[in-house]
Each structure stands twice: as C-alpha cells, then as structure tokens.
Structure 1
Amino acid sequence: MNILLSPDSYKHSLSSIEICNVMEESINQISDEIKVHKFPVSDGGEGFLDVFFYHDDTLEKKYYTVSDESGNKREVMVGYCPKVKEVIIEVALIVGLVQLEANTKDIEKRTTFGIGELIIQVCDDLEVNSIIIGLGGTSTNDGGIGCLAALGMHLYDRNHNEVEPYLLNIEKVHHIDMQLVSEKIADVRFKLLCDVNNVLLGEQGATYTYAPQKGANERTCDYLEHCMKKWTLLLNDLMNKTCHEEKGSGAAGGLGFAFLSCLHTEVVNGTYYILERFHFHHYLNQCDYLITGEGKTDYQTLFGKVPVSLAKIAKQYKVPTICISGAVSAISVMDMLESGIIGLYGLAQRPMTLKDSLNDTKYLLQKITQSVVSTISYHK
C-alpha cells in the first residue's frame, strides 16, 4: 500500500515538513509493507518558504536584515533561483502572527515597512525578474501603507508636512507622492500566493474578518475599517484604479491591495500554485490514500484551505483523502465527504487545554496516525 502525506503546518506547533516526518516514522513503526511518499504543502502562510526549499534544491538561501512589525530589526531568509532570476519571500517571517504574543505594539501601530525594505534589498543585491510572496500569517492590518512607504511613498498633510506611514494617521493625509526608490522594482513581476479571496473592505474584508485574530476588539475594528476606507479613496485617486474590490486585495491585512494598486501584481491561490509547480499529480498517480491536515479544520476549510483543495484533486484520481488536523470544529461531515475526505480526525482524543495540546502535538500525532493507518491497512 502507498500513502501520500501532504499536510499544511500546524500553526505555532509543527511545520508541514515536521508533520510529514512524524507521520512517516509512526507508519514505519507499525508496518514495513507501507510505502510512504511525502509532499509537504503551504497556502502561503507559516512555513511557506521551507516548503519551497524542500521541493526545489536549486534554490539558494539569502539573508537580509529588515524591520519587523514593531520596527525592531530581524534577519530573514529568502529563496533565490538564479536560473530564472526569481525571489521567494514569506511575509510571516517578517511580520508574522507567530511573534504576536511578544508584540509590544497594538495592531494600529504595526507596520509592513519591513516587507518593502526586503524588496528593495533583494532588487539591489540580486538580478530579479519576478518575486513570489507568500502572504499568510501576518499580524498587520495597515493596508500595505508601511510597505509602500519603504518603496518610496510619502504622505503629506494640508501644510505639506510629512505624515508617518501608519493607517491610524490617514485622516491627516491630504496628498500622496509615489516615487519608487529603485527603478528596478517597476520592472519586477509580483505573484502573491494566499488562501483567501477577501476584498479589502466590508464584513468579509481584511479588517472585520482577520483583525480580531490579530488582537483587535470590535471598537478597534470599526476604527481600522474607517481608516481603511479613507486610505482606499486616496490610493484609488492616486493610481486611478479601484483594486480594493479585487479578490485577494484584503489578504494580509490589505497588503494585497497595496501591491495590486502600485506594482505589477497577480494574486493566485497558494495551495494550487505549489501543487502545480511541484507536480503533485505525479505523486497521486502512485498512491492508494492521501493523508492531509492543518492546524484547525472548521467551516473556513471549505473555502479553499489545504485539506479540501487537495481532496478535490485526489478525488479526480480516485484517491480517498483522510484529514488529521490539530483541532476540528463546526464542520459538516457531509461537506467533508463531498469534497473527497472520507475521514476527519483531531489530535485531542480527550479534554485538554490548548497549551497541553501544543506541548503534546508530536505524541498525539503519532498515536492518531498509527490508529488511522492501522485501520485502512487492515481493510486494504
């Protein structure tokens, strides 16, 4: 029997590569007749860059020092493919939710400035035709103002005094000057990889959908949405575009909107891009079962998250899918079955706190993997 392991990461716990390795070890302990194939995947969030390095050994590691969401300096890694002059960036390494608990600034003062800094540095340091950016897992909600400021945007009030590039200062802004720091950036093609189709504004927009996960309360969300509307009007007027209604403009706290408005940008589904780029279907052709998973499987999973995306493809190849996630809640069994997922499992097999679950993730994953694989191998 052949089993393909293709999970997303368990946020704050195990990377997709680590999950594959734990599952493989667990399966090998119960049978030497099962052949394991590994295809770690990411939708653009945490662990995105590691997945690229796993699948592509031609990538070179490059390191740069940039500002994080609070303005502190941080060394980050990018991938570089010299053959096609392409850079791979994971924004979660710069302004990620992983650092949220240690964050010293409220969401209104967090900035994407470091992302723009990184783009400038790689373009000055390397020959770059294109940049692929994984947009998931950010702690910011600034509409990309910080990023554009690093790239050369200046904000001015009515008296032509410069305004600090934060979303909460947008009421002071009367005029915007957008002049890219480096002419090289104007010729670069950007591809944004993410798992969301949210537009910028409204109940399904960047702020109301994702800011609460980043520490914003209801009052803060209302204020941020008000500021985001003002920012939208200003940038639309400057660029003579209306990109705030495009799918993906609400990704990464509105960072997608900034890229779509000011740079040569395409937004694509991160999961499908990785599956196609690294030939996922070749693995499916030789497997009897697919095991996938994510940190938490809930109703949002049905809207293009990794497990459902993979299951729908596997279903076309008549490969049944099993999902083992860190947690499972509020999702219909029928919806899972229709997508091709025949079994859905959460790691916690008894009542436990989130802290205990995170501490015991590896052990819990070993046990549930062995239980599931023992069952399907018996019936096989």
Structure 2
Amino acid sequence: MYDVCVVGLGTHGSAIAHRCAHLGLSVIGIDRYHPPHGLGSHNGDTRMTRLIQFEGEHLLPLVRAGNLWRQSFEDPDIPLFEEAGFLTIACKNSTHFDLDSQELWAKQHDIPYKRFYGSRLQKAFPKFNFNDGDEAFLEPGAGYLKSSFCIESNLKRAQAYGAECLYNTEVISIEPHKIFLNEGGSVEAKHIIICAGAYINRFLPKRIAANIYASKQAVSWFEITEDPKEHRFPKISPFVWEQENKDIFYGFPSLPAFEDDKNPEMKIGVHTEYNHVDPNECNMLPSQKDLDKIYKTPSLIKGLSDKPHTVTTCFYTMTKDQEFIIDRLPDMDDVWVCSACSGHGFKMSFGIALMFGELITEGASDLLLPEFSLSRF
C-alpha cells in the first residue's frame, strides 16, 4: 500500500506528487494522458503569477509559501519563473477590477506597486491603445510561470525522489484506500488525492458536481510586425484588461524563450467564465464568438499582425462561487479533492503542494482555508 496516490498529474497533481515524494512518502501518480498536454488547464506555455490577489486576499499566503518552496529547488540557469511584472487595466466603471482595493492590499502586505492614469498611462505603455478612463495597476515583482516546464520539472523531481507515475491510464472508480484502473488493475493507498481538473465530476457526488463546470478558453498568438523589443518587458508586462463592453483580454509580452528569433509574437487570450462544456465530448477548437473577440486584438495593441497565426484552447474548471475546492470527500476521509481552481490556480500550485505535504504528514495545515470546504455546497 502506497502512502499517497495522486489521480491527475497536471498543474496541482504534479506538484503534490513532487512534494510528497520529497518528504519521503511512497507516492504513485496516475494520469489518463501524459502531461504536459493540450487537454487540460495548463495548455499554452505560460501562466501569470502575482502577489496581489483580486480573487481574494485570503489566497496570498498560498502564493507566498509556494514561491519560497519553488525558489528552494529552482535552477537559476533554467528558471520556472520569470519576473516581468503584472499589469491590471481597468476600464472606467469597471465591474471586475477594483484598483483602490489592490492598492490597499499592496500597502498592507508590503507589495511594491505603481498606478497609472491618463497621459501617464499612455506614456508608460505606448503600444496599448487605451480607452478614455482606463487606469492601470502594476506589480513590478510579478511575472509568469512556464506552465509545461513546471509540470515536467515536478514529475521529474517526483520520480527522482522515488515516486511512480502511470501515464495513459484511466481511473474508473475510487473507494476508500483503493482506486480501480481501466486496465483491470487496482492501486491501494493510505491517502488518495484527486486532481483531475476538468474531468473531476465523474468522481464526485452529484450534489457537489452540480456546482462545478468546465469552461473552454481561447488563447492565440499574434506575430509582431515591428521591432519586437518594444513588445518585451519592461515595455509590456503580462496584463489583464477589462474593456468597456466588459470583455476581458489577457496577454503576455514577446518572450524570446518561447520564440523562433525570426518570428517574435505575443500571446493573447480571452477570459470567459461561463462557456460551459463537457471536456469528455467537446472538441478543442475555439468558438466563433471567441474568435471574433480575439480578432479585435490588433485594435488594442499596436504592431501586431491582422490575425493570429495560432489559436488553441484550454479548460478552466470553475465553481459557481469561483472559489477552490480542497477538502475530503464525504464518507471517505482518506480521499481528498483538489480541483476546480476557477481559472486562477496555477500560481497556487506550489503552495497547495506544501499544504498537502503538511496534511498528509502532520494531519493539519494553516494553508487549508475554510473557503475551500465542500460544506458550502
């Protein structure tokens, strides 16, 4: 019997397997695919990370704790994280971003920041075609994580510490201390942690699954048609931008680490909270509605091609209250659910891995918050 079985080895599962193996626990991880891959939440090379949490100030300790652990093993020559800042752009009468609250939190938690208005905003970021009334909040110490590389690194380190990984293997059902596989076998473990992302609902009671849905997100890459240096940090930071019509775009500066030097590009996505899909049945093509929004990008940012050269998708796993689920399953104290991170979970993954290391070895963790409980459903 293993100490820990992790079901799903993507964003959170790979980090949890890494941490538990690092602590000397016997670990087996199982995934229906071979992560990293294009069928989960991590598709698309990069994920933003920041200390300012406009999803909820209570999440800050998770990010800070995870950053410290990541820094303890990260190779400085091939880093998982790159500092590039993070820019929140709020339209006039924004309903999504409260920059005054962000400024208050930054002051309370000693997070460096800058705010920009009017002509000062346009002067600081000349490649953006800002709208009248736009304001921006910059967290200079933020940046991005290399999502696929993080997962590859976690899995490699987990296996170096003795973890076993079963890829292209589907879990059919879960019982206390035991999971059953599509190949007819089974695995026994003292603790089971389900990190199945958009595919989580098959393992949950119907009353809980009714509060969780997968949302397909479109992301694209536009070629840069002028000097790419003007589209790189610090001229452009990773950003999120609410438009006057309430569309929300996000994007990344030109990142030479992911580019052919001859074809510099910017990654641009559309944030869609309510695009419900069944991940087992839907195709991964973007919807026409999302394509129409993405095609607006050249009107927002100067120096980009008229249309993207690539458009792909990934999944968010959403809860109705857009909060995480991290809790034991009802009637199965040995089985944990860690999923439904509602589109902002990647930056928490290292902190959540620390949390599970403490939960398994010590029986409790200060990082486990009541906001994550299943009792709210």
Give the TM bin, normalised by the shorter chain. under 0.3
Structure (1 or 2) with the larger CA radius of gyration: 1
Greater share of strand: 2
Greater share of helix: 1
The answer to which structure, 1 or 2, has the higher relative contact order (CA under 8 A, 6+ apart) is 2
TM-score (norm 1): 0.25
TM-score (norm 2): 0.26
